[in-house]
Structure formats: C-alpha cells, structure tokens
C-alpha cells in the first residue's frame, strides 16, 4: 500500500489494442501516460506496443515514468510486446495477466477500447460488486465514446437488473485531464488479498 493511502502509486490502464478512428483517442492515451509520469504514478498495462496501449506506455516512458507491462506469451507477438518498458512480465494465460494486473494496481482507468477492454473493465467491476476488492474503477468518456455503454448500464438499472449502488461502483470522468483529480477524491481502497483463480 502507498504510505499516503489517498495516493495512487500504480494505475492499471485498460484500453484498445487499436487506435480507433480519431486522433483524439491517441491524444487522450498519450495525455494519460504523460500525466501519470508527471505524478510519479506507475502504469500497469497489457504490455503491447500497438494502439492506445502503445500510446499510453510510450508517453509515460517519454515523460520519465515507470511502466509495467504484463502480457501472456501467446499474445507477445500479436500485440507486439513493448521492449522499452521498465518491467515486462510474460505470463502463461489471459487469466494470469488479469490477476497480475489486478494485484499490481491501486486503481483502474478505462480509455476507449474494444471487446478486450470491456471484458477487463467488467471483470474488475463485478469483482468489486462481489466485495472482492474496493479499488476505484474510473471510465474516461473521451469524446463521448462510452456514452452508449453508460446508457446501457442506465437501462439495466431502470429495468431492475443492476442495483443503483452497483452501477455507482463505476466512476466516470469526461476528460483524461480529470482522471487524477477524481482519483484523489475517491476513498482509499482497503488492503485486499490477492484474488485466487478458481
């Protein structure tokens, strides 16, 4: 745990292995990387050098920050393992990657991405819903990319499938510049044991 419990020392970033169709996404990813480096926050991410994942890592490293990549060996080639990172951990499966990314991080930030990003986000949220951890999960709604998803979650609440307090476990900021200020306002996570794979 960090010595100041409100201070995030390692931030897990979930985001696309593609860059999307608008430069605004890559720019947001680079801003996140730079802001993290400036604040001395280590980035924990999926270890790739492509898409938004690569943009976050490159900007953090260029800003003198620390980057910890965690990649399963079967993806090291497809996601083009980033060889420049401070620490690269090659694990045996997607499950181990997710577990290690969880263990190494104090909070989670979600940038635009695809199905993999959604999978990772909802696993952290559902673990939190089950009380397995209470690390903050913050979605960055860059250029309204995630608005349809937020509307879908709203519908789940209205139709009685998600409790409002569980929907509230996902924090939302509109711009990447608001991410760290939002994290500073969230209550500190309680220490959690590593979640065991079934």
Q: Where are the alpha helices (DSSP H) in 82-146?
A: 94-103, 115-129
| Window contacting ligand AMP (CB under 6 A); options: 116-124, 132-140, 169-177, 179-187 | 116-124
Site string for ligand AMP, 12-31 (x = CB under 6 A): ----xxx-------------
| Binding of residue 75 to ligand AMP (CB under 6 A) | yes
Q: Toward ligand AMP, which CB reaches closer, 143 or 157? A: 143
| Binding of residue 79 to ligand AMP (CB under 6 A) | yes
Nearest alpha-carbon partner for 11 in 72, 62, 64, 56? 56
Q: Which residues contact 162 (CB under 8 A, 6 or more apart)?
A: 153, 156
**CA separation for the pair 168, 146 (Å, rounded):** 16
What 3-state class would DSSP assign to 119?
helix
| Binding of residue 80 to ligand AMP (CB under 6 A) | no
Whether the CB-CB separation of 89 and 100 falls below 8 Å is answered with yes
| Window contacting ligand AMP (CB under 6 A); options: 21-29, 114-122, 139-147, 151-159 | 114-122
Return the residue matching tokens 């760290």: 180
| Binding of residue 88 to ligand AMP (CB under 6 A) | no
Residues that bind ligand AMP (CB under 6 A): 16-18, 46, 48, 75, 79, 94, 98, 113-117, 119-120
């Amino acid at each position: 745990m960090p010595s100041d419990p409100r201070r995030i020392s390692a931030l897990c970033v979930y985001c696309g292995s593609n860059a999307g169709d608008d430069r605004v996404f890559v720019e947001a990813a680079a801003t996140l990387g730079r802001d993290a480096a400036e604040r001395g926050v280590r980035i924990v991410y999926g270890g790739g050098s492509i898409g938004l994942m690569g943009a976050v890592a490159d900007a953090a490293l260029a800003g003198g920050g620390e980057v910890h990549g965690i990649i399963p060996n079967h993806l090291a080639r497809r996601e083009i393992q980033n060889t420049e990172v401070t620490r690269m951990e090659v694990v045996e499966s997607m499950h181990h990657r997710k577990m290690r990314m969880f263990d190494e991080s104090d909070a989670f930030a979600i940038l635009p991405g695809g199905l993999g990003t959604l999978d990772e986000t909802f696993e952290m949220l559902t673990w939190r819903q089950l009380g397995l951890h209470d690390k903050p999960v913050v979605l960055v709604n860059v250029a309204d990319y995630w608005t349809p998803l937020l509307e879908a979650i709203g519908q789940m609440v209205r139709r009685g499938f998600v409790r409002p307090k569980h929907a509230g476990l996902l924090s939302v900021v509109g711009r990447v510049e608001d991410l760290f200020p939002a994290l500073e306002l969230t209550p500190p996570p309680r220490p959690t044991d590593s979640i065991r794979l079934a």
